[in-house]
Amino acid sequence: MWDLVELIGDRLEEYEARAHPWGEAEPVEALRYLMQAHGLTQSDLPEVGNQGVLSEILAGNLELNVRQVRALGERFGVDPAVFAV
């Protein structure tokens, strides 16, 4: 039974990789994409910090810290590693 579950899981993973190829994105690119996809502005993400902090992050002048990475992962329902450098 577990062999069947494992086989189905492997096939689903292969399908997802073909159907939705993401590649590796920079954390800021991923954040921009998710903000746009969810119709969010900088002021809609207080868990990152104030609008000035988010502007600096999006401009590449600041990196996301561990707390922000965790909060964004939870906010968007994605693996926090998406936002890690």
* pLDDT tens column, 44-84: 999 999 999 999 999 999 999 999 999 999 999 999 988 98
Token pair, residue 41, equals: 């502005």
**Which pLDDT belongs to residue 72?**
95
* Beta carbons within 10 angstroms of residue 45's beta carbon: 23
Task: Read off the tokens for 55.
Answer: 């502007």
Our measurement of the distance from residue 62's CA atom to the centroid of its chain's CA atoms, rounded to an integer in Å, reads: 17
Task: Report yes or no: 77 and 71 within 8 Å, Cβ to Cβ.
Answer: no
CATH number of 24-83: 1.10.260.40
- Which tens digits make up the pLDDT trace of 3-52? 888 889 889 888 877 776 666 678 999 999 999 999 999 999 999 999 99
**CA atoms of 40 and 69, how far apart (whole Å):** 17
* Tokens 């590796």 -> residue: 24
Position 23 scores a pLDDT of 62
Residue corresponding to tokens 């990196």: 63
- C-alpha 21/C-alpha 16 separation (Å) is 7
pTM over 0.85: no
